[in-house]
């Protein structure tokens, strides 16, 4: 074979020596002819070596086991392939591309490797001593020389170029009925290894990092059809292969950027983690994921509902990082935004519920928040743990209905005195018996009754006292018509009066009982122990209603002040007078219709955001599981949680909403995507059930150790800690058995808008 000019100038006999070792006849065009036949379909394995295997040769395996391989390489090989970066992919095979037919059954495989670091050669001590001695002998004139061998002789220079690499074995490519498959391990290794090692580049690397086994593709197609897709959605380019932060060589103009694709179906009914420090590309990755799923759904004319719990408001609103656009702007017609403070923006809906229209929801929200704050003392304990305003069953008795009505009315009265703005002209209906009105009048309005008695005595001088019927008739005139509806002020006054009357009746009974025990007198006939209804004789103010009236006046049973305002005041942020329908129901209906729902949680306290997000997530899970159990249509829903450590607790019960979504949501076609800079703060059950991972820079050893427990992320420990480049991620998806280091493409709204126009055509 005629040498090129560069080979004539090359004094490196190491290069020539290894060229001979691979046992290829370079005379004529025999290699090109063989490779043309192979690449035409005779052997898909050899195609993994590239069109010119010698150009990609980087060394030889000199030792291996089932987990690692040790590689002998040299500087010349590294220079030829633009370097061998940390965590880069290599492939090893015994197949001779010059004569594939001679390959034994053991040879017909290609092993996929990842570079972990250097390995020690037996000659390293000698090489080290030679380098030191050579530098010690330098004179001042020899510090800089114009000699490519740096003053060494040819043989010494060639030997000193040798080095070792330790590589992780990621799997084995092999043929199965003509199909190229990738196993996630090796089946066998030979002690007398004849494995040559190559660096995959360009089209070959594209094929490797995006390889999906046929059975995985078939399963994905099956899942896609179940989700409403008519065919397998096209893969979406998420970025390009990037091995290290320094990308001068392996991503230079001389090396083609290798695209990395993700399968949209990997995210449907699956769990996805987006992990990394602030400003390292988490949000960009999440936006790209939302866009990919949305574009696939639009392309195939199917419905996939997506909901983003937006902690910082960057998905609903345009930011400088979005090229002047946002998710809401790109998919304008298909996006519905909610905010806790919508202002006058007609495109933004109010995220808060109307506690007066839906007191059951209002009470549940208050209970969730107070439980989270561990406020459970005295009457607050009853409010948090005992009272319920959930709708009664259809077979509830008349007594149960009236008791529920009183409880609900008292709760609305409590809201009004604790800062929850009521709708204009709001009225409340309440059934109050004559007996209760009479007792309240007797206990609280004695002077008024005396004046009334005096008026009656004018016509009847013999009249000494009012009869029960007369008091009840007067009470009907004194009190407003509660059955027809009264204002909140009138309602509050009524419950204050009812509480006062009840306390006076109980005090009178206690005094009479004490006198009976000490003096043996009889308790006055007809004296009740509390405010009661004559019809059935039960307590009109039961413990639950009594607790609410205490909270209304802000005093407990011993008349000591209760800090009700400080407890309930912050929760007023949850309430809005502008909403009629339950926000959870509205959001779920939008998701069923395939909309992108963005919940702007950037306003309000952390307590408010956490409880609101929890309620909506719980409603989504409950309704989808209800549909599943009933055999009804299941909508595709993807839940995205930004800054997940603010919403999802590490110590949440397994029966809690977020752990259940992660563990059981897939059954109900609910996908879960969470982004956080603190993976160790996420519930272990959620991490354990995560299939897709996007990880950028993490600067904390504890976080890196937590991540290193999953898949092969431990290989990237050092890189994740030091590389802070925006969008430099390590990706593991459901379809891929190994992590791919990737530079995530930037979210480009204008390109997405152009593509949307093409689809709508």
Averaged pLDDT, 727-744: 94
Residue-level pLDDT at 3: 42
Q: Which of these, 276, 314, 330, 309, lies nearest to 727 by C-alpha position? A: 276
**pLDDT tier at 318 (50, 70, 90 boundaries)?**
low
pLDDT in tens, 348-384: 888 888 999 989 989 988 998 888 788 877 889 999 9
Please check whether residue 562 is in contact with residue 551, taking contact to mean a CB–CB distance below 8 angstroms.
yes
- Structure tokens that stand for 584 in this block: 């959870």
Averaged pLDDT, 439-459: 90
Averaged pLDDT, 280-296: 87
Kindly tell me if the per-residue pLDDT of 89 is higher than 90. yes
Between 166 and 219, the higher pLDDT residue:
166
> How far apart (Å, rounded) are the C-alpha atoms in residues 365 and 363?
5
Tell me the average pLDDT of the chain.
Answer: 85
Residue-level pLDDT at 29: 43
Residue-level pLDDT at 628: 93
Kindly tell me if the per-residue pLDDT of 448 is higher than 70. yes
Kindly tell me if the per-residue pLDDT of 316 is higher than 70. no
Q: What is the 3-state secondary structure (H, E, C) of 579-620?
A: CCCCHHHHHHHHHHCCCEEEEECCCCCHHHHHHHHHHHHHHH
Residue-level pLDDT at 522: 60
**pLDDT tier at 306 (50, 70, 90 boundaries)?**
very high
Q: Which of these, 565, 292, 285, 528, lies nearest to 418 by C-alpha position? A: 565
Between 463 and 692, the higher pLDDT residue:
692
Packing angle, helices 468-478 and 434-444, rounded to 10: 90
Averaged pLDDT, 591-605: 87
Give the burial class of 514: count Cβ atoms within 10 A of its Cβ; 0-12 exposed, 13-18 middle, 19 or more buried. Answer: exposed
Residue-level pLDDT at 537: 62
Q: Which of these, 544, 548, 570, 586, lies nearest to 366 by C-alpha position? A: 570
* Ranges assigned E (strand) in 244-346: 259-262, 271-275, 304-310, 335-339
Please check whether residue 161 is in contact with residue 174, taking contact to mean a CB–CB distance below 8 angstroms.
no
> How far apart (Å, rounded) are the C-alpha atoms in residues 629 and 668?
9
> How far apart (Å, rounded) are the C-alpha atoms in residues 182 and 200?
15
What three-state secondary structure class fits 210?
coil
Pairing of β 636-641 and β 304-310:
parallel
**pLDDT tier at 339 (50, 70, 90 boundaries)?**
confident
Residue-level pLDDT at 33: 41
Domains of the chain, earliest start first: 5-213 (no CATH), 270-352+582-693 (3.40.50.300), 359-432+479-573 (no CATH)
Q: What percent of the chain has pLDDT over 90?
A: 44
Residue-level pLDDT at 197: 96
> How far apart (Å, rounded) are the C-alpha atoms in residues 16 and 640?
56
pLDDT in tens, 194-203: 899 999 999 9
Lowest-pLDDT range, 170-179, 284-293, 723-732?
A: 284-293
> How far apart (Å, rounded) are the C-alpha atoms in residues 660 and 364?
20
**pLDDT tier at 535 (50, 70, 90 boundaries)?**
low
pLDDT in tens, 574-594: 888 887 778 899 999 999 999
**pLDDT tier at 39 (50, 70, 90 boundaries)?**
very low
Averaged pLDDT, 512-537: 65
Lowest-pLDDT range, 520-524, 622-626, 628-632, 707-711?
A: 520-524
Residue-level pLDDT at 1: 37
Kindly tell me if the per-residue pLDDT of 27 is higher than 70. no
Question: What b-and-e string marks burial along 187-204, b requiring 16 or more CB atoms within 10 Å of the CB?
Answer: eebeeebbbbbbbbbeeb
Kindly tell me if the per-residue pLDDT of 446 is higher than 60. yes
Q: Which letter does DSSP use for residue 539 in this model?
A: B
pLDDT in tens, 141-156: 777 777 777 777 788 7
Lowest-pLDDT range, 167-171, 260-264, 515-519, 709-713?
A: 515-519
The length of the chain is 761
**pLDDT tier at 189 (50, 70, 90 boundaries)?**
confident
Averaged pLDDT, 545-565: 92
115-to-84, 86, 165, 167, 720 alpha-carbon distances in Å: 8, 6, 7, 4, 15
Question: What b-and-e string marks burial along 132-164, b requiring 16 or more CB atoms within 10 Å of the CB?
Answer: eeeeeeeeeeeeeeeeeeeebeeeebbbbbbbb
> How far apart (Å, rounded) are the C-alpha atoms in residues 583 and 353?
6
pTM summary value: 0.76
Residue-level pLDDT at 199: 96
> How far apart (Å, rounded) are the C-alpha atoms in residues 306 and 311?
16
Residue-level pLDDT at 161: 86
Listed in sequence order, the DSSP H helices in 418-465 are 434-444, 446-459
pLDDT in tens, 452-500: 898 888 888 888 888 889 898 999 999 999 999 999 999 999 999 999 9
Kindly tell me if the per-residue pLDDT of 605 is higher than 70. no
**pLDDT tier at 4 (50, 70, 90 boundaries)?**
very low
């Amino acid at each position: 074979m005629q040498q090129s000019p560069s080979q004539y100038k090359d004094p490196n006999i190491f290069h020539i020596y290894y060229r001979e070792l691979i046992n290829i006849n370079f005379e004529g065009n025999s290699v090109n002819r063989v490779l043309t036949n192979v690449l035409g379909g005779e052997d898909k394995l050899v195609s993994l070596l590239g069109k010119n295997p010698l150009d990609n040769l980087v060394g030889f395996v000199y030792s291996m086991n089932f987990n690692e391989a040790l590689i002998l390489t040299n500087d010349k090989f590294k220079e030829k392939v633009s370097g061998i970066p940390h965590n880069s992919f290599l492939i090893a095979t015994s197949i001779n591309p010059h004569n594939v037919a001679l390959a034994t059954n053991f040879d017909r495989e290609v092993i996929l490797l990842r570079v972990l670091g250097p390995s020690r050669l037996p000659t390293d001590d000698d090489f080290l001593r030679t380098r030191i001695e050579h530098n010690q002998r330098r004179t001042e004139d020899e510090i800089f020389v114009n000699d490519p061998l740096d003053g060494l002789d040819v043989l010494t220079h060639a030997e000193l170029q040798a080095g070792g690499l330790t590589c992780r074995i990621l799997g084995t490519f092999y043929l199965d009925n003509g199909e190229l498959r990738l196993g996630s391990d090796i089946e066998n290794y030979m002690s007398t290894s004849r494995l040559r090692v190559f660096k995959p580049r360009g089209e070959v690397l594209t094929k490797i990092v995006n390889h999906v086994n046929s059975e995985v593709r078939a399963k994905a197609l099956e899942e896609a059809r179940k989700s409403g897709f008519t065919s397998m959605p096209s893969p979406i380019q998420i970025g390009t292969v990037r091995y290290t932060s320094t990308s001068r060589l392996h991503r230079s103009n001389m090396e083609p950027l290798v695209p990395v694709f993700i399968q949209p179906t990997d995210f449907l009914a699956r769990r996805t983690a987006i992990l990394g420090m602030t400003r390292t590309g988490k949000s960009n990755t999440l936006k790209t994921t939302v866009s990919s799923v949305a574009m696939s759904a639009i392309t195939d004319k199917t419905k996939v509902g997506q909901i983003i719990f937006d902690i910082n408001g960057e998905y609903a609103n345009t930011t400088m990082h979005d090229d002047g656009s946002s998710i809401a702007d790109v998919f304008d017609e298909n996006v519905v935004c909610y905010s806790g403070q919508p202002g006058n923006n007609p495109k933004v809906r109010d995220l808060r519920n109307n506690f007066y229209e839906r007191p059951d929801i209002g009470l549940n929200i208050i209970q969730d928040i107070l439980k989270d704050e561990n406020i459970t003392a005295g009457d607050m304990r009853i409010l948090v743990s005992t009272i319920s305003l959930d709708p009664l069953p259809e077979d509830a008795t008349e007594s149960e209905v009236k008791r529920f009505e009183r409880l609900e009315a008292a709760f609305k009265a409590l809201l009004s005195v604790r800062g929850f703005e009521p709708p204009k002209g709001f009225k409340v209906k309440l059934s109050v018996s004559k007996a209760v009105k009479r007792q309240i009048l007797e206990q609280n309005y004695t002077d008024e009754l005396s004046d009334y008695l005096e008026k009656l005595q004018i016509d009847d001088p013999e009249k000494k006292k009012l009869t029960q019927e007369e008091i009840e008739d007067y009470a009907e005139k004194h009190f407003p018509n509660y059955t027809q509806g009264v204002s909140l002020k009138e309602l509050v006054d009524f419950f204050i009066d009812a509480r006062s009357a009840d306390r006076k009746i109980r005090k009178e009974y206690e005094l009479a009982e004490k006198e009976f025990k000490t003096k043996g007198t009889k308790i006055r006939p007809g004296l009740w122990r509390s405010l009661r209804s004559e019809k059935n004789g039960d307590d009109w103010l039961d413990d639950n209603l009594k607790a609410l009236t205490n909270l209304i006046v802000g005093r407990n049973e011993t008349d000591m002040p209760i800090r009700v305002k400080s407890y309930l005041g912050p929760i007023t942020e949850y309430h809005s007078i502008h909403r009629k329908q339950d926000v959870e129901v509205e959001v779920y209906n939008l998701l069923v219709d395939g909309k992108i729902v963005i919940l702007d949680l950037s306003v309000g306290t952390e307590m408010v955001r956490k409880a609101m997000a929890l309620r909506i997530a719980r409603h989504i899970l409950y309704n989808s599981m209800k549909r599943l159990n009933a055999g009804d249509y299941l909508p595709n829903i993807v839940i995205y949680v930004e800054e997940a450590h603010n919403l999802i607790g590490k110590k949440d019960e397994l029966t809690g909403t977020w752990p259940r979504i992660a563990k059981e949501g897939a059954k109900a076609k609910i996908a879960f995507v969470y982004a956080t800079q603190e993976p160790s703060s996420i519930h272990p059950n959620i991490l354990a059930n995560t299939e897709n991972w996007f990880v950028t820079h993490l600067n904390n050893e504890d976080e890196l150790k937590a991540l290193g427990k999953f898949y092969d992320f431990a290989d990237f420990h050092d890189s994740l800690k030091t590389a802070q480049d925006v969008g430099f991620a390590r990706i593991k998806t459901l379809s891929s058995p190994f992590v791919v280091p990737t530079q995530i493409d930037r979210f480009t709204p204008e390109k997405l808008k152009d593509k949307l126009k093409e689809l709508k055509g």
